[in-house]
């Protein structure tokens, strides 16, 4: 039997982006419904707020500054909450008190990828932040999350308390922006085709079917 031909699916994301959480959930459901999909997946850093102070910001102040007013922020996030509820996601925005700088979370995602544990870590980060209001800019919290994904606490603690890979993460983020990525999630299929934004399982099923047809030709 010939080995399966796999197709790279690169995902630009930020773990504090609610549309990234929603987008991953919808992609996961499509993959579960199509277990013979051809994708091999890698997550890449894209900071929504690269100039965020290292200690993060009060979430309410941040959102009101970003959207111009409390009313505007409430309107935007009410729409997101409706979308999340429709998918059965237990997002709890009221529990989130701070908007963190995500550079360290992105370092952790990178290291998890080296151990083939990116998917587990991404899930753990989304659950911690969106469902439990955990500050994923806090190094102790990140270590706890890393353990849930199967990473070693001692090694993770040592790495997070160093400058390891900070420059590399920033360079990868910058590279994505230079390539035209200006919002997340952004999915890149086979290093060629960009699929911007959160897509339904039906859209992903259609993409998978088209790719399988191409591979069969």
Is 139 inside any structural domain?
yes
Containing structural domain, residue 108: 7-216
Express each pLDDT in 5-15 by its tens digit.
899 999 999 99
- The DSSP string of 123-180 is HHHHIIIIIH---TTSHHHHHHHHHHTT--HHHHHHHHTS-TTHHHHHHHHHHHHHTT
CATH of the domain at 203: 3.40.30.10
How many structural domains is the chain composed of? 1
Q: What is the pLDDT of residue 217?
A: 79
Q: What is the pLDDT of residue 4?
A: 79
Express each pLDDT in 29-41 by its tens digit.
999 999 999 999 9
Is 2 inside any structural domain?
no
Q: How far is CA 129 from CA 94, 98, 135, 138, 180, in A?
A: 11, 10, 7, 11, 28
Q: What is the pLDDT of residue 147?
A: 97
Q: What is the pLDDT of residue 2?
A: 61
Is 83 inside any structural domain?
yes
Is 1 inside any structural domain?
no
State pTM to two decimals. 0.96
In the block, tokens 């080296």 appear at 114
Is 59 inside any structural domain?
yes
Q: Which residues of the chain have pLDDT under 50?
A: none
Is 61 inside any structural domain?
yes
């Amino acid at each position: 039997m010939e080995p399966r031909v796999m197709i790279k699916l690169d995902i630009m994301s930020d773990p504090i982006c609610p549309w990234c959480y929603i987008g991953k959930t919808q992609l996961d459901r499509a993959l579960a419904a199509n277990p013979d999909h051809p994708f091999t997946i890698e997550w890449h850093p894209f900071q929504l707020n690269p100039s965020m102070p290292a200690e993060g910001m009060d979430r309410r102040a941040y959102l009101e500054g970003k959207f111009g007013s409390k009313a505007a922020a409430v309107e935007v996030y009410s729409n997101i909450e409706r979308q999340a509820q429709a998918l059965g996601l237990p997002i709890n925005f009221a529990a989130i008190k701070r908007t963190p700088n995500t550079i360290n979370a992105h370092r952790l995602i990178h290291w998890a990828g080296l151990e083939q544990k990116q998917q587990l870590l991404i899930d753990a980060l989304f659950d911690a932040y969106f469902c439990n209001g955990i500050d994923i800019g806090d190094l102790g919290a990140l270590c706890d999350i890393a353990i849930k994904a199967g990473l070693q606490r001692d090694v993770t603690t040592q790495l997070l308390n160093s400058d390891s890979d900070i420059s590399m993460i920033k360079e990868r983020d910058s590279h994505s922006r230079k390539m035209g990525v200006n919002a997340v999630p952004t999915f890149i299929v086979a290093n060629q085709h960009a699929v911007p934004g959160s897509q339904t399982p039906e859209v992903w099923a259609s993409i998978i079917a088209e790719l399988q047809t191409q591979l069969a030709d």
